[in-house]
Amino acid sequence: MNLAEGVQIVSFGILAVMMIGGALGVVLFSNIVYSAFLLCAVFTSIAGMYLLLNADFVAAAQVLIYVGAVNVLILFAIMLVNKQEDFRVIANAWVRQVATALVCAGLFALLGTMVVSTPWAIVTTTGAPAESSIVTIAKHFFTDYLLPFELASVFLLMAMVGAIVLARRDFLPDELSAQLSETPAFSLPERPRELVSAGDVNSPETR
Question: Does residue 99 sit within a domain?
Answer: no
Q: 73: domain CATH number? A: 1.20.120.1200
Which of 82, 114, 149 is where one domain is finished?
82
Least confident of 21-35, 51-65, 118-132, 153-167: 118-132
Question: Does residue 25 sit within a domain?
Answer: yes
Type of residue found at 43: F
Which of 82, 117, 141 is where one domain is finished?
82
Output 97 or 80, whichever has higher pLDDT.
97
Which of 66, 82, 98 is where one domain is finished?
82
Q: Rounded CA gap, 207 and 204, in Å?
A: 5
Q: What is the mean pLDDT of the segment spanning 36-42?
A: 90
Q: Among 78, 67, 79, 10, which Cα is nearest to 42's? A: 67
Beta strands, E only, 27-160: none
pLDDT at residue 190 is higher than 60: no
Question: Does residue 199 sit within a domain?
Answer: no
Output 12 or 179, whichever has higher pLDDT.
12
Residues 5 and 64 in one domain: yes
Q: How confident is the model at residue 1 (pLDDT cuts 50, 70, 90)?
A: low
Least confident of 78-87, 111-120, 139-148, 194-203: 194-203
pLDDT at residue 55 is higher than 60: yes
Number of folded domains that form the chain: 2
- Show the domain range for 6: 1-82
Question: Does residue 26 sit within a domain?
Answer: yes
Determine the pLDDT at residue 160. 83
Cα–Cα distance list, 21 to 18, 27, 28, 69, 149 (Å) = 5, 10, 10, 22, 36
Residues 6+ apart with CB under 8 A from 97: none
Asked whether 94 and 59 are in contact (CB, 8 A), the reply is no
Kindly state the DSSP code that residue 189 receives in the 8-state scheme.
P
Asked whether 32 and 78 are in contact (CB, 8 A), the reply is yes
